[in-house]
């Protein structure tokens, strides 16, 4: 079975995670896909495939040669919940012409806005109807790993060490590595298959934190509010306005960091702002967190102590520092791309990946591509042929084909 065929099955599962849930996985519907994957793995011949009590899927292919490393392959099952993921009505555009493509919703997937799409010219492009995400982030990674495993099991002449497979829940809400069983996983190092353009090898990512701003106001009838009312929603807006407007995701790229307002709620008495804070540079990252505190102190000086409370919590750190002495892991992925006829490239991840936290937990884990484009939105898409390439790259990473 080709990787895209698996993807078309997996995206029918609604696996949106929920940051407001305290369970693991955060949504029970992720378990439905987890169990289906474990059963599929057993059907392929991965005898120890299992779902643990936290919704993580594990399995392994035993080594068939001595003195070869145990290598892990990891992808996440959940998708974001900021855009609908169901009902899923994906279609395949055969021999995509490289130009603007009208989706069933009437929206246009335009290479002028999404330049990477032009690279899929002539390929079989998988798109949605324009009303949901596709879910290639990261069900494409799951599909490519499964397809590579199927090929490896069908070619016993390919030599490899132990191949450890793990599919995680809740990556999109920053919890994918929380309960990952590294000792039980059994890999010496691993790769997350969770990137974008084919050829990508990523070992740099943002330093990341979440920032929650809580504002306490005082409600007074507007007819007698002078010098009495403290409108919490307006003070929250003032906090937002004191952050540099050019340092938002929509104005930044490359190594530039940002403050991103994810959601806001409020009335006169109470308001909250939820941010993510990102920067590749650790010094600038710390300065961004201090800026949050400084703004709160300024507003408390203006409106009274306790008006604004700020809670900043670190999420993960830039894994680059961990790979300065382990570039052999990165070079293995580069060789695997070249064997598949693709020239590798490096780009800093402008986001997060399970691999970052796993690396700091003791499992070195750079990130490689899936081939997907325009993640987290209704214009998400992927080419079937790029998924084929990535399945081959994965085979090349873990196997010596002779």
Q: Do 297 and 328 reside in the same domain of the chain? A: no
Determine what percent of the chain is predicted with pLDDT higher than 70: 100
Q: Do 251 and 326 reside in the same domain of the chain? A: no
Which alpha helices (DSSP H) does 101-252 contain, by range? 136-154, 182-185, 232-241
pLDDT above 80 (res 242): yes
Last residue of a domain, one of 300, 316, 332: 316
pLDDT above 80 (res 353): no
Q: Which domain holds residue 79?
A: 3-204+318-398
**pLDDT tens by residue, 266-318:** 999 999 999 999 999 999 999 999 999 999 999 999 999 999 999 999 988 89
Q: Do 107 and 159 reside in the same domain of the chain? A: yes
Q: How confident is the model at residue 79 (pLDDT cuts 50, 70, 90)?
A: very high
Q: Do 157 and 269 reside in the same domain of the chain? A: no
Q: Do 192 and 215 reside in the same domain of the chain? A: no
Q: Do 255 and 340 reside in the same domain of the chain? A: no
What distance in Å separates the CA atoms of residue 343 and residue 6, rounded to the nearest whole number?
26
Q: Do 29 and 137 reside in the same domain of the chain? A: yes
With contact defined as beta carbons under 8 Å apart, do 189 and 361 qualify?
no
Last residue of a domain, one of 278, 300, 316: 316
Mean pLDDT across the chain: 96
Q: Do 233 and 153 reside in the same domain of the chain? A: no
With contact defined as beta carbons under 8 Å apart, do 34 and 77 qualify?
yes
Q: What are phi and psi of 143, to 5 degrees?
A: -65, -40
Q: Do 312 and 329 reside in the same domain of the chain? A: no
Supply the pLDDT for residue 325: 84
* Alpha carbon distances (Å) from 1 to 146, 154, 188: 10, 12, 29
Number of domains in the chain: 2
Q: Do 101 and 40 reside in the same domain of the chain? A: yes
Looking at the annotation, which residues are catalytic? 78, 171
Q: Do 255 and 375 reside in the same domain of the chain? A: no
We report the CATH number of the domain holding residue 291 as 3.30.70.360
**pLDDT tens by residue, 123-145:** 999 999 999 999 999 999 999 99
Last residue of a domain, one of 316, 331, 366: 316
**pLDDT tens by residue, 192-232:** 999 899 999 999 989 999 999 999 999 988 988 898 989 99
Q: Do 140 and 80 reside in the same domain of the chain? A: yes
Q: How confident is the model at residue 321 (pLDDT cuts 50, 70, 90)?
A: confident
We report the CATH number of the domain holding residue 126 as 3.40.630.10
**Residue 263 burial (10 A CB sphere; 0-12, 13-18, 19+):** exposed
What distance in Å separates the CA atoms of residue 290 and residue 382, rounded to the nearest whole number?
40
């Amino acid at each position: 079975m080709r990787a895209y065929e698996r993807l078309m099955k997996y995206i029918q599962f609604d696996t949106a995670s929920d940051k407001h849930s305290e369970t693991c996985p955060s949504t029970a519907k992720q378990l439905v896909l987890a169990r289906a994957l474990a059963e599929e793995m057993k059907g392929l011949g991965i005898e120890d495939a299992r779902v643990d009590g936290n919704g993580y899927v594990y399995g392994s292919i035993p080594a068939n040669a001595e003195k070869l490393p145990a290598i892990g392959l990891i992808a996440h099952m959940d998708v974001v919940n900021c855009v609908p993921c169901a009902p899923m009505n994906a279609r395949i555009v055969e021999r995509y012409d490289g130009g603007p493509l009208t989706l069933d919703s009437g929206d246009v997937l335009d290479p002028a806005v999404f330049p990477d799409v032009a690279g899929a010219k002539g390929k079989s492009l998988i798109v949605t109807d324009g009303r949901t995400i596709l879910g290639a982030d990261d069900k494409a990674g799951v599909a490519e790993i499964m397809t590579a495993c199927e090929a490896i099991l069908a070619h016993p002449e390919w030599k490899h060490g132990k191949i450890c497979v793990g599919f995680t829940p809740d990556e999109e809400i920053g919890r994918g590595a929380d309960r990952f069983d590294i000792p039980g996983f059994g890999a010496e190092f691993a790769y997350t298959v969770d990137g974008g353009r084919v050829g990508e090898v990523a070992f740099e990512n943002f330093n990341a934190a979440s920032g929650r701003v809580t504002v306490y106001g005082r409600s007074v009838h507007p007819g007698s509010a002078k010098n009495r009312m403290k409108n919490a929603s307006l003070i929250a807006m003032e906090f937002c306005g004191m952050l540099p407007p050019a340092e938002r995701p929509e104005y930044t790229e490359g190594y530039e960091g940002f403050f991103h307002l994810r959601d806001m709620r409020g009335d006169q008495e109470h308001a909250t702002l939820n941010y993510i804070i990102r920067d590749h540079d650790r010094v600038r990252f710390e300065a961004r967190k201090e800026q949050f505190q400084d703004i709160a102190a300024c507003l408390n000086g203006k409106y009274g102590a306790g008006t604004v409370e700020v809670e900043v919590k670190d999420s993960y750190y830039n894994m680059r520092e961990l790979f300065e002495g382990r570039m052999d892991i990165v070079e293995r992925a580069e060789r695997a791309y070249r064997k598949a006829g693709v020239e590798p490239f490096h780009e800093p991840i402008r986001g997060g990946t399970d691999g970052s936290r796993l690396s700091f937990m003791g499992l070195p884990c750079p990130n490689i591509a899936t081939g997907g484009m325009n993640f987290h939105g209704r214009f998400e898409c992927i080419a079937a042929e790029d998924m084929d390439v990535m399945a081959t790259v994965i085979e090349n990473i873990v196997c010596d084909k002779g």
